[in-house]
Amino acid sequence: MALPDPLADFVLIERAVRFGPEDVRKEEERKEEYAAAAAIGAGRWTSVAGASRPTLLGINPVMKPIPVLADPPRPSCLYMLLPADAPFHFRPSPAEIATTHKGILLLRTILNNYILYDVTTNELTAITALPGLRDPPISVPLGSYTAVLVGDDDYVLADIVAPYNEDLSDLALPQANVFTWSKSNAGGEWVQSPVSLPLPAAICGPEHHFHIDMTFSFEGRIFWVDLLQGILLCHLLDEGGPNLDFIPLPLGYTARVHRHRRHTLRVLCERSIACVSGVVKFAAFVGDSETFNGDVLLKTWALSPDFSHWTEDTKALSVSDIVASESFNQMGLPRAMPVCPVLSMTEDGIMYALLNVIDMEPLEQLNEFGQCLGNRLLPKANYIIRFDIRRNKILSYTTPSKDAQLRWMQPTLLGTDFSAYLARELRTKQQVQVEVLEHLLTSL
């Protein structure tokens, strides 16, 4: 008796998590929206562990996680369903997926608390915010992306915070603290380890700071990534750890921007780092993307196995050549600058990116001289492409939402292989069911 095809071992999941009451009609709408290509994870109601009163953390005590999975480039998403009889006044704190590692999804709420979702067991765990994040703060996280390490019978969360100097209104870098939380720690408390970060002095303030844009784990190490500077490599499980090293980006591709202007940079939507089949790789669109001329290149680098240096991975490819390719034009895609690249973790040389068609529309409001006060962005179309870098070939594309939206201009998608662990669990259960059924049939 054959088992159904396994779920994709790599998916693009939206960071934003959707909370809402259980509604059978909406469940059917979700299935229709994602059509036959989607596989809806077999979620079930589960009590949230780890906090005596999770509602105080903005977390409902009982939820049903529903991962809605689709083959890339179609986006996947995570629903957290609430019981129909949940108190009307309760509104869960909005959350987004901070990071994933193996079968773990870590959600971070707007209140800086966490929900840890283990897809292999359907367990949900509430975790309190890092200590010291009060107003005014005594410490400040270096980013919004807490890391996860998974062991044989345990998992560990880790984050970096820097002391806040009120007199200077600045972080006291390179001094910092690594906070860890472990499932095996019965107390459920964060453990603090003071460290001195091995960062260049130029990005320790006051104008420039190391900032965590993304994080991932590989072979027991944590990679905290600043897409403008480099990687802070943490050997968390080493004896006497945590031990840290700094890996700068390839020579000539770092950028120093004042910490107050950093969030305005377009370049943050033009770079990505990921572990691809056991090799850490960096992809970047290089050049003046505003003018969209032939000088914009897609370049990739691979980090050496000892994490000491970068080498160019694929031949530099002009964006003009990408949009002029036969596959690009056969699919009728718009001549738009690709943004928000995501490297496939399981297929070397495969990258996903967004194409956005945006118009400018004058604001209706005028100043006292009858002049327009500016323009607003008007989304016309969004596409997600699956691209073979080495062959300069668009393999497939999709429209991520029914209506064009501005949110696709930002890095809202996260590449993850958690679906492989969910698939493994589902297939194990299916195999048991098949074996039981076959035994019953042969007993007749």
Could you give the angle at the alpha carbon of 244 between the alpha carbons of 132 and 185, nearest 5°? 50
Compute the average pLDDT of residues 74-96. 80
36 or 315, which is more confident: 315
Specify the pTM. 0.87
**Residue 89: predicted pLDDT:** 53
Compute the average pLDDT of residues 259-264. 77
Q: Bin 245: left if φ > 0, else alpha if -120 < ψ < 50, else beta.
A: beta
Can you list the alpha helix ranges (DSSP code H) found in 290-361? 319-323, 326-330
Among candidate residues 357, 435, 355, the one with its CA nearest the CA of residue 398: 355
CA distance 171 to 140: 8
Which tokens is 417 given? Answer: 């292989």
**Residue 191: predicted pLDDT:** 92
CA distance 402 to 74: 12
Query: Residues 118-146: pLDDT tens digits?
Result: 988 889 999 998 887 766 667 788 888 88
Which tokens is 368 given? Answer: 């006292």
- List the chain domain ranges: 1-120+417-444
